[in-house]
Structure formats: C-alpha cells, structure tokens
Amino acid sequence: MTRTDGIRVAGSTVILTLRPSALGTPALALPLVRRTREPFADRWALPGGWIAPDESPIDTAARTLAETTGLTPSYLEQLYAFGAVDRSPTRVISIVYWALLRQDEVLAQSAAHRASGRAPENVEWFDVDALPELAFDHADIIEYALWRLRSKVGYSRVAHGFLPSEFTLADLREAYEAILGRQLDPANFRRQVEATGNLIPTDRFRTGSHRPARLYRDNTDVELAARGPLGPEETSIR
C-alpha cells in the first residue's frame, strides 16, 4: 500500500471482451469481483488492489488482475486516474488501466487458471449493458472506458483486438456494432474499411450455410490502438 500525506493509491483494471449475447450477436462484457469486506461488502467491483512501494502502477494492475481473474493480457493501457475526494470513505486515488481480450483468450486463460488449482473466486462476467450495482465510483470508471473505446474505434484498429488473426468483414462489422451499440450498413461498412488500408485480404474463405466469405487479416504496419506518447515500456507488462 502506498501512502502520500494520508492518500492511498490503488490500481484497477477494465478488461473487455466480446461474447455471444442472448440474441446470438456479440456483446461487450467485462469481469467483476464481488467484495468480501466493507466498504461496499457484497457489491461488485473492478479487479484491483493497493500499489506496493516496489511496484509500478501497471505491474500492480497486471498482478491483481491475474490474482483475481486469472487473466493476463499482453498489454495494458493507462485509462485515467480517478481521485474525487468522496469516491471512497478514505482518501484513495485509483490509477486505472484497460485492455481488450478475445473470447478464446479468456476461455483458455481461465481454464489454465482453474487447472492450476487457482480458480478465480467471487468473479463473474457481465454484459456492459446489464451491470449490477457497483462499489465506489466503478460505474463511472466503466462508463469512461466505454467512451474511450468508442472514441478510438473511429481512428484506430482497436476493434480488431476482439478478433482472431483471420476474420470476415461480417465479424469485424459485428465487433464495431457491439462497440458502438448500433447497427451499421454492411455495404457502406465494407467500402469504408477497405479504403483504410488496415485490412489485407487472404486467399481463404469461410464456408457454411451461406455463400463463402473471404477471410481478412490485419495490416500489421498499422498500430492496434493509438497509445499517445507512451513508450512500449509504459504499456507493456513486464
């Protein structure tokens, strides 16, 4: 725990994924941890904990996320520092990080965590449009993370972070629709994304009940997300 003139500093994480909704279309979801003590006992909260004197904020975020949920994203990006005076019964500043994970990564990492005998406790996934009552100001933090995600989708490849290495344009459009919370015209979407240069068509197709759909891959010369002036050491987990 870090103290500065009576102020405690914590680290928290917002991890987002896409999972099938009740309608079968992808929906944004995130893991929450049920608190076992006061304040806000029995309420749900973001994964997090106190920043140790010998830890950087990003290392604390990665450690507490792994300990509570079994998830280990390849990178975390700083979201914001939340420090309203009345956000906690004691004076606490939270440095919040966020990242995206594919659903297959979530399932594989969670299974490995259970197999190791360290199954996450008091953890549950929630769709972002059906969140329970949350502790502290974590509802505001999640709202800010969603705003950041929706802002980035217009100028970066951030939506691709939810997809496998090869995907159809329909897969990508559904990811955009889940992020933006609205349907997009398929023809217009195709024209717009093909004009960006972010996608490279492959010679492979997905077959099924409908006509074959071409698979695309990312143009790796384009960054997944614009991370501002931060260097790799400040966004990568060590």
- Do 190 and 79 belong to one domain? no
- Do 88 and 170 belong to one domain? no
Beta strand pairing status for 7-20 and 92-100?
parallel
- Do 97 and 207 belong to one domain? no
- Do 103 and 183 belong to one domain? no
Going by pLDDT thresholds of 50, 70 and 90, the confidence category of residue 229 is very low
Residue with tokens 């909260």: 45
- Read off the pLDDT of residues 113-126 as tens digits, 9 standing for 90 and up: 888 877 667 899 99
- d(CA 179, CA 148) in angstroms, rounded, equals 11
- Do 8 and 111 belong to one domain? yes
Helix extents (H) in 91-185:
103-115, 138-152, 169-180
- d(CA 139, CA 102) in angstroms, rounded, equals 23
- Do 112 and 55 belong to one domain? yes
- d(CA 186, CA 236) in angstroms, rounded, equals 35
pLDDT at position 121 is 75
Per the structure block, which two tokens stand in for 64?
A: 């507490």
Average pLDDT (140-160) is 91
DSSP letter for 157, please.
S
- Do 163 and 177 belong to one domain? yes
- Do 104 and 27 belong to one domain? yes
- Do 107 and 146 belong to one domain? yes
* Contact present, 124 and 45 (Cβ < 8 Å): no
Res 235 pLDDT > 70 = no
Query: Which domain range does residue 169 map to?
Result: 158-218
* Contact present, 47 and 31 (Cβ < 8 Å): yes
The identity of residue 198, as a single letter, is: N
pTM: 0.86
In a domain, 224, yes or no: no
DSSP letter for 162, please.
G
- Do 9 and 125 belong to one domain? yes
pLDDT at position 1 is 40
In a domain, 223, yes or no: no
Residue with tokens 């919040």: 96
Per the structure, how many domains does the chain have?
2
In a domain, 100, yes or no: yes
Q: Which long-range contacts (CB under 8 A, 24 or more apart) does 138-144 make?
A: 138/12, 138/44, 138/45, 138/46, 140/82, 141/12, 141/14, 141/46, 141/79, 141/80, 141/82, 141/94, 141/96, 142/14, 142/30, 142/46, 144/79, 144/80
- Whether the bond between 39 and the residue before it is cis, its omega within 30 degrees of 0, is yes
